[in-house]
Amino acid sequence: MLNIAMTIDGKDAAAPTRLTVSNPANCCVLATVPDAGQQELDAAIDAARRAFPQWSARTIADRQAIIVQISSIIRNNADELARSLSSEQGKPLSAAAFEVESAALWTLATISYTVEPTVIEDTAEHRVETHHVPLGVVGAISPWNFPVLLSIWKIIPALLTGNTMVLKPSPFTPLTVLRLGELLRSVLPAGVLNIITGGDHLGPMMTAHPGFDKISFTGSTATGRRVMESAAPTLKRLTLELGGNDPAIIFPDVDPQKVAEQLFWSAFTNSGQVCAATKRAYIHDDIYDDVRDAMAVLAKSVKMGEASDQTSVVGPVQNGPQYRRIQSLIADCIDQGYPIIQGAIPQDHIGYFLPITLVDNPPEQSRIVQEEQFGPILPLLRFSDEDDVIARANASDYGLAATVWTADETRAVRVANQIEAGSVWINEALALSPFAAFGGHKQSGVGTENGLAGLLEYTNRKTITIQRKPNFLVKKI
C-alpha cells in the first residue's frame, strides 16, 4: 500500500497517525495519508509565512513564468494524475483526464490577468493610485467532487497575486492533490504551497487559526456557515463556494429528444456530484412526457461501472455518507409514492453505485425538490406558465446557477434576468470559463472564483495618495 507524504516547506512531511483512502467503486484501500493535527498545521503556516516576503516581492512576470511551468507539469504528468484521480474519486478515466486537462488550461488562462494599479487622479496637486496587494497566507479547503480542478481554482490566483498557501484537500480524495504538491516542488520555492491532509478535526482548526489571512472554501452550505462563524474572531477574508439547487427551465419550442440528452448530462455528469448541475428540471407541459421518456431511455442505457472499465460513462457516488444520503432521498420518494424511473447498477459490486433515478413530477415541497441532492437523482417537474416557473425556480435559499432552454432568445434573456443565481446558461449547461466570474447568490456562497473578480479576491486594496503641492515643504537652495 502507498504511504503518501504531505508537502510542508518544500519537503515531505508526516504525522503521527494516518488516514486510509479507498476506491469508491470497490471499497479497496488505495493508500494512507497523514492525519495532520495542530503541530503539522502550525508548521505549514510557519513555512508559508516565511516564504511570503520573498514570493510577494517577486514581479508578477516572474510569478507568471512559474505558473506557466505549473501548467506544463500538470500536462506532462496528466496520465498519472488522471489515473490516480479516477481511482480515488470514482469518475471514469476519460472524465478524470478531462478534469486534469481543464486544470492545466485554467492554470494557463489565469496568467492573462495582471493586477495593475488604478490611477484615480493625476493632477498637478494630487496623484491617487489604488494598488492590489497580496493578503498574506491563504488557507484553502477543497471538496471531493473535482479535487484537482477546484484546488487549482484556488492555488493559481492566490499564488499569482503574491500570496502563499496551505491547502487541505478533502479526506475522501487527497491523493492526486498530494501528488501534485510533490510535483510542484520542482518549480515553487519552499513554503509557497503547502499541502496537508487530515480528518474532520483539521478544517475547523484551519478556519480558526490566527495564522491565516484568508480562507477560500468550497463545500456545502452547512459547512460554509461554520467556516464563516469560525473565521469571525480574526476577521479573515472569505471566499465561500457552496451548494446549489439549480433549476433548469425547458420551454416547449425545443426538440424534446435533443434537449433531453443535454438535460440528462447537465444533471448526471460526475454522477450528479457537480455544484452547478441541474438539480430540478422544470419542463413545459406540452413536451413534458416526450422529454421524460427520452431521459428514461438514457437512464436505462448509459453504462455505469468502475473507472477501470473503459466503456463506463458514469461512476459510483464518491463516499459512504453521500451514498447513504442519496439512498435516503430515493427511499423517501418511494415511501411517498412518487413515480420513479431507474437505470441499472453494475452487478456484483460492493462499491457506492446507485442507479440513475428520475422522479416523475413530485410535489414542489418534497425533499427531492427542496434539498440539494448532489447525486444521481433528479426531479422532473411540470409547468405551463412563465411567471409561475420563475417564482418556483427562485423559491430556494440557494442561488448558484440555472439553465434556460428555448429557441426564443428574447424570452431566454427575460427569464435569465429574473433568475436569482450567480450563473445562468442559455441553451447549454456547465459552460464554465476561467475568464467568467463564478459564485453563488443567496446561501450558495460569498465572493467569486475565476475571472478578474476571482483574482482580486486574493488581494487587499491599498490607496496611495500624493499631495504634490503641500505648503510646508522647505525649498532646496
Angle between helical axes of 78-89 and 147-160 (0-180°, round to 10):
130
Closest to ligand NAD by CB, 220 vs 327, is: 220
Map the footprint of ligand NAD across residues 358-377, applying CB under 6 A: 372, 374
Residue 297 is placed in which grid cell? Answer: 431511455
Q: Taken in order 54, 56, 59, 61, is the CA torsion positive or negative?
A: positive
Is 323 a residue that touches ligand NAD (CB under 6 A)?
Answer: no
275 is catalytic: yes
CB 319 within 8 A of CB 23: no
Q: How far apart are CA 164 and CA 146, in angstroms?
A: 22
- The x, y and z cell numbers of residue 271, run together, are 454522477
Least spacing, CB of residue 227 vs ligand NAD, in Å = 5
What is the number of H-type helices and E-type strands within the chain?
15, 21
Binding-residue pattern over the window 390 to 419 for ligand NAD, x denoting contact by CB under 6 A: ----------x-------------------
Task: For residue 467, give the 3-state DSSP assignment.
Answer: strand
Give the other-Cβ count within 10 Å of 235's Cβ: 8
Which window, 99-107, 113-121, 144-152, 359-367, contacts ligand NAD (CB under 6 A)? 144-152
Rounded distance between C-alpha atoms, residue 437 and residue 332, angstroms: 36
Q: Which of residues 419-448 bind ligand NAD (CB under 6 A)?
A: 440, 445
Residues 158-217 that bind ligand NAD (CB under 6 A): 168, 170-171, 203-204, 207
Residue 218 touches ligand NAD, criterion: CB under 6 A: yes
Active-site residue among 40, 275, 333, 449? 275
Q: Using CA atoms of 111, 117, 120, 124 in order, give the dihedral in degrees to the nearest 10.
A: -140
Taking the complex as a whole, the smallest distance from the CB of residue 472 to ligand NAD amounts, in Å, to: 52
- Work out which of 151, 176, 216, 223 binds ligand NAD, going by CB under 6 A: 223
Longest Cα–Cα distance of the chain, Å, equals 94
Coil, strand or helix at 34: strand
Binding test (CB under 6 A) with ligand NAD, winner from 71, 110, 145, 161: 145
By beta-carbon proximity to ligand NAD, the closer residue of 108 and 274 is: 274
Strands 214-218 and 278-284: unpaired
Please confirm, yes or no, whether 27 is among the known catalytic residues: no
Q: How far is the CB of 389 from ligand NAD (least distance, A)?
A: 23
Catalytic positions, please? 241, 275
Residues lying near ligand NAD in the complex (CB under 6 A)? 141, 143-145, 150, 168, 170-171, 203-204, 207, 218-220, 223, 226-227, 241-244, 275, 372, 374, 400, 440, 445
